Amino acid sequence: MLIEYFTVLILTYYVQGEYIQTKFLTESMKDCDRLIRVIVEPVRIVHKDADAHCIVTDELSTNIIRPRARPKLEENN
């Protein structure tokens, strides 16, 4: 099983000289990459200086499923 961590997309740009930073929380790097194409590329049409990058957190975004321990067999003597 692949362990995935939450990933933050950080989008930065300027509006009338004011620095704007927006963060989007995604469940994986793959989702973050998709979000860049969907959200950031259109923003760059209006704000040429827009920049975005993904940062992986240390928080798990998936539950790790552990197998149950085998029951101990009782020996009949």
What pLDDT, on a 0 to 100 scale, did the predictor assign at position 63?
Answer: 63
- CA separation for the pair 59, 67 (Å, rounded): 21
Say if CB 4 and CB 62 are below 8 A apart. yes
CA 65 to chain centre: 20
Segment 3-54, tens digit of pLDDT? 677 899 999 999 999 999 999 988 888 999 999 989 888 999 999 999 999 9
Question: Residue 5: left if φ>0, alpha if ψ -120 to 50, beta else—which one?
Answer: beta
Every domain of the chain and the residues it spans:
5-60
